[in-house]
Amino acid sequence: MAVFLQQLVNGVSLGSVYALFALGFTLVFGVLEIINLAHPAVLAIGALLAYSLLAGAKTGLAVALAGACAGAGLLGVLIDRVAFRPLRLRGASRLSSLITSIGVALILVNLAQIVWGTEPLSYPPAAVPLRFFTAGTVTVSLLQLLVLALVVALMIGLRALLLRTRLGLAIRAVAENPQTASLLGMPFDRVVAFTFFLSSALGGVAGVLVGMLFQGSVSPFMGTTYGLKGLAAIILGGMGDVTGAVLGGLAMGVGEVMIVQYLNSSYRDAVAFGLLFMVLVLRPTGLLGQQRGREA
């Protein structure tokens, strides 16, 4: 029982990281129907920016987090401006955007290698709140709780932003029909730029949290694992759906961990992606996706 509980904690913790990554991923998809494969690179750069602030500029954690958030957000705006907007203006296919995003990812990862090097880095231990709570034989870290709380808060906040505010209304209008929205006077490019800012800022925060959760994992390549798992999470939850992304991420995390514990660790990815395949066959819109699949 204690082992099961510990594994549940591990699974929720892993899942909340997937969810955090998937939130930003699904936002851009929901609005623009672009699968932005540069998102993993943005996550890494967010984490690396925070590293420079913590280890280089010796700032506190709050400043580093804000810096990574803003830096990654601006990077997202830049990516849209340089890579996706020209394609939109030419009315290029979604496939072109997908391939372009792979190119952006390659460029970013290689630039990051030049700036930060290739060796995995750790945040200075003093800067990271390393506290552990033990109940019986189950260990939970403060960071794990923090990540989970943040994911839930961000999910609720994003939903409120999309459903309750004028900006959210504009985003949804653009998502629904870009042409009509523009004709009605919506500042299309600004709405898109803001969406990229928000999505990438979330990616940056995710990067910092991954870096804190797994000391010694901060590197230009740290996003790679999350790209595939995050994509799986948003497909599982329903493409473009914010709540679905979080539930999808948590389901992936808990599922993977339980497979390791109770089936066979070698089948972890096979079962995870097998389930994904089943979802695609049986319910192509995902667990929460509607037929339109475009809630955000």
Partner 1 sequence: MKRAWLLALLPLVVTAAWAAPVRPVKVGLAVGVTGDIAVYGDPIRNGFLLAFKQINGMGQVRIDPILEDTGGGRDGAINVFQKLIQRDQVAAILGPVLSSQAFAADPLAVQAGVPVVGVSNTAKGIPQIGATVFRVSAPEAVQIPKSVAVAKKALNLSRVAVLYDNADDFTISGYRTFADELQKNGIAIADTITFSRGDSDFSAQLTKAKAANPQAIVVSALAREGTLLLIQARNLGITVPFIGGNGFNDTNIITRAGPAAEGLIVGTAWVPSAPSAVNLKFYGAYREEYRREPNQFAAQAYTGAEVVSEAIRRAGLTGAEDVGAQRTKIVQALRTIKNLETPLGRISIADDRDVIQPRTYVAVVRGGRFVELDVK
Footprint on this chain of partner 1 (rule: CB under 8 A): 3, 6-7, 10-11, 13-14, 17, 110, 113, 117-120, 122, 125, 132, 134, 137, 139, 141, 210, 213-217, 219, 221-222, 224-225, 256-257, 260-261, 265-266, 268-269
Query: 276: how many CB neighbours lie within 10 A of its CB?
Result: 19
Write the burial class of residue 184 (CB in 10 Å: 0-12 exposed, 13-18 middle, 19+ buried). exposed
Q: How far is the CB of 261 from partner 1 (least distance, A)?
A: 5
Closer residue to partner 1 in complex, CB, 9/162: 9
CB of 133 to partner 1, least distance (A): 12
Which of residues 92 and 258 has its CB atom nearest to partner 1 in the complex? Answer: 258
Please name the residues in contact with 269: beta carbons below 8 A apart, sequence gap of 6 or more.
256
Which residue's CB is nearer to partner 1, number 120 or number 168?
120
Q: Least separation, in Å, of the C-beta of 215 and partner 1?
A: 5
Give min distance, CB of 174 to partner 1, in A: 35
Residue 93's H or E segment, with its range, is none
148, 164 Cβ separation under 8 angstroms: no
Nearer of residues 86 and 129 to partner 1, judged by Cβ: 129
* Rounded Cα gap, residues 160 and 228, in angstroms: 28
Contacts of 133 by beta carbon, 8 Å cutoff, 6+ apart: 139, 140, 141, 142
Rounded to a whole number of angstroms, the minimum distance from the CB of residue 125 to partner 1 is 7
Taking a C-beta distance cutoff of 8 angstroms, is the pair 213, 2 a contact?
A: no
Q: Which is nearer to partner 1, 219 or 285 (CB)?
A: 219
